[in-house]
Amino acid sequence: MDAALVAFAADGTVTHWNHEAARILGWTADEAVGRTGLAGWAVRKEDADGIEAALAAAMRSPGRQVHEFALLTKDGHRVLVRTQASAVRGPGGRVAGVYCAFSEVHTQMDLERSIALSEALFEDASWGVVLVDADLRPAVVNAHAARTLGVGRTALLGRPLGDLLAQGVEELECALQHVLAEGAPPAAAELWVTLRSEEAELPRRCWRSGFVRLASPLTEEPVPLGVAWLFQDVTEAKRTEQDNSLLRFRAHQLHRAGRAAAECPDPAEAAAVHLDFALAGFADHGLADLATRPAPAPYGAVADDDADDAYDTYGAHDTYDAYGTRGTHDIYGTEATGDARDRARAQAGTGTGRGAGCALVRTLASPAGAPGPSEAFTATGIPVPYPPGHPAFQAFQRRGPVRTSAGAAPAEGWAAARHWPDGTVHGLCVVLRSRGRTLGVLTFLRSPARRPFDRADADYAEEVAARIAACLDLSGAASS
C-alpha cells in the first residue's frame, strides 16, 4: 500500500509533498511546498491547533507517534487519515523537522483486516488452507491442513502433491492449473482423495475444496503468485448422504418390484421380476437355486438328524463371521479366517452338518451375456455341480448370508471353479426361506467394476430373497 509523505521544517514550513498526498488531498506539490503549516488550506482552523501540537510533540519525542487527523481536501471535503510522525535530525543530532506518513483510515483498516485474516486462516481456521505456487508445490500450509494431511507444516513445503496423495492428485492438479489460467471457479468442488501411506492403505476421503487465484498487488499487470486452496473434510457427511440415497433407491426398487410382481399371473414370473429389479445398481448377475430333498435312508438305518434340513423350521444355528454379519466367508476366498474357516471346512468340506446331502437345482437366473430379463428354468431335477465348500452350500447350511471375494489379484479360473459367469470377482449367497423352511439359495454376483459386498448389501439381499422365496413357494416349484 502506497503512503502519503509530508515533511515539515522546524518552523512548520512544508518541505516535501509526494504524489500520494496529492492524490488524497487534491493539492499538488507545487501548491503545497513552501506553505507554513496546514491551517486554513489542508486543515480546518478548528482542528489546526491540535494537529500542530501533535507534530511538535513528535519532534520532541523519540520514535514514531501515531495519530488520527481529519484533513481537508482541495474541494472542501474532510477525510480521516491515520498518521505516523517522527522527528528528522540533522548531522549534529539537532531536530531539523518532522516527517509524516499518512493514509486514509479505511484503507489502513482494510490492510489490517487483510493481514489479520491471513494470520487467522493460517493459525486458527477450521478449514485447511494451502498456498500453492505456480509450480503446484505447497508454499504455505496452515495447522489444520497439516493435521489433515498427516505431516508437519514445514515438511509439506516445496514437495510435489503426488508425494502426499496416492489417489486424486490428477484431479487436484487439474483444478489448480485451471484456476491459474482462468481464475476461481464459481462454486466449491468435492474431491475424493487417498493419502499416501507406507504402512497401510488409507480410506478415501472427500474434501470440499475452494480455490482462489493470487496475484501480486505491487505490479501494474496481474502476475499470478499461485493458488489459495481451502478445503474441509466432509467424508462422513457425504457417506451418510450416499447411504441415505442408496436406502431410498433400494426401498423404491422393492416397491416397484412389488407392484410389478402383483401383475404377474405366474408366481415364477413374479420371482423373476423381483430378481430383475434387485439387480439394478446392485449386482451384475443373479442366480436362484432350489434344494432337492435327499433320498430316504434304507430301512433300519440310523438317519442323520440333518437329513431333512431343507424342511426344518428356522433354528438357532445361525453363525457370525469375523465382521459381525450372519454367516461366514467363503473358504476359497481371502477373508475367511479363524473359527469361520474351521466351521466351513468341518461342515461344508466334509459333507457333514445341517443340510448335508442336499443338492441345489438351478431355477432362476439372469442372462450371463447380453442384458435382458431373468428367465426361469425347467424343473429337470439335475443339480448344479457345485464343489464341496461352495458359498451356496455354506449359506444353505448356516441359513445366513455368505460373502466371498477373489481379492485384489483374482486367481485364474476363480469364477469357473464356483460355476459362476466369467468375470465374477465378488459373490453374495443368501438363503431362500418361506413358511419356516429353507427352500434354496439366492446368489448375487459382481464384476471387478463394482466393490465387494458389505453388510448393508447382505441385508438388502435377504429382503429380496424373502420376496423371491415366497413367489417360488407359491408356484409350487419348491415342492416339485
The whole-number pLDDT of residue 175 equals 93
Reported pTM: 0.61
Rounded to whole angstroms, how far apart are CA atoms 35 and 11? Answer: 11
CA triplet 427, 473, 417: central angle to 5 degrees? 25
pLDDT in tens, 144-163: 888 888 888 888 888 898 88
Instruction: Yes or no: say if 265 and 271 are a contact pair by the CB < 8 Å rule.
Output: no
d(CA 409, CA 424) in angstroms, rounded, equals: 13
In terms of Cβ atoms closer than 10 Å to its own Cβ (0-12, 13-18, 19+), residue 31 is middle
As to burial, measured by CB atoms within 10 angstroms (0-12 exposed, 13-18 middle, 19+ buried), residue 328 is: buried
Measured between alpha carbons, how far is 420 from 425 in angstroms, rounded to an integer? 10
pLDDT tens-digit profile of 231-267?
Answer: 999 999 999 999 999 999 999 999 999 999 999 999 9
Higher pLDDT, 328 or 360: 360
Does residue 325 or residue 61 have the better pLDDT?
61
Neighbours of 335 (CB within 10 A): 17
Q: What is the pLDDT of residue 37?
A: 86
Decide: residue 63, CB within 10 A, 0-12 exposed, 13-18 middle, 19+ buried.
exposed
Give 375's strand partners.
365
Report d(CA 67, CA 271) in Å as an integer.
Answer: 86
For residue range 7-49, list pLDDT tens digits in order. 998 888 899 999 989 998 898 999 889 888 888 888 888 888 8
Q: What is the mean pLDDT of the chain?
A: 81
- pLDDT for residue 221: 65
The CA distances from residue 319 to 11, 172, 322, 327, 462, in Å, are 100, 45, 10, 5, 15
pLDDT given at position 357: 57
Q: What is the CA radius of gyration of the chain?
A: 40
Selection from 392, 404, 456, 457 nearest residue 430 by Cα: 392
In whole angstroms, give the CA distance from residue 477 to residue 289: 11
- In what side-by-side order are the strands of the sheet with 65-72? 14-17, 4-9, 95-104, 78-89, 65-72
**Secondary structure class of 236 (helix, strand, coil):** helix
* Residue 366: count of CB within 10 angstroms of its CB: 23
Nearest to residue 406, comparing CAs of 417, 392, 393? Answer: 417
User: What pLDDT does residue 219 have?
Assistant: 62
Which range, of 47-51, 119-123, 471-475, averages the lowest pLDDT?
A: 119-123
DSSP string, 239-304: HHHHHHHHHHHHHHHHHHHHHHHTT-SSHHHHHHHHHHHHHTTT-SEEEEEEEEPPPPPPTT----
Handedness of CA 403, 409, 411, 415 (dihedral sign): positive
Contacts for 186 with CB less than 8 Å, ≥ 6 apart? none
Confidence of residue 279 (pLDDT cuts 50, 70, 90): very high
pLDDT in tens, 63-122: 888 888 888 888 888 888 888 888 888 887 788 889 898 888 877 777 778 777 777 777
445 pLDDT higher than 50: yes
Instruction: Name every residue whose Cβ is closer than 8 Å to that of residue 232 and which is 6 or more positions away in sequence.
Output: 126, 127, 128, 207, 208
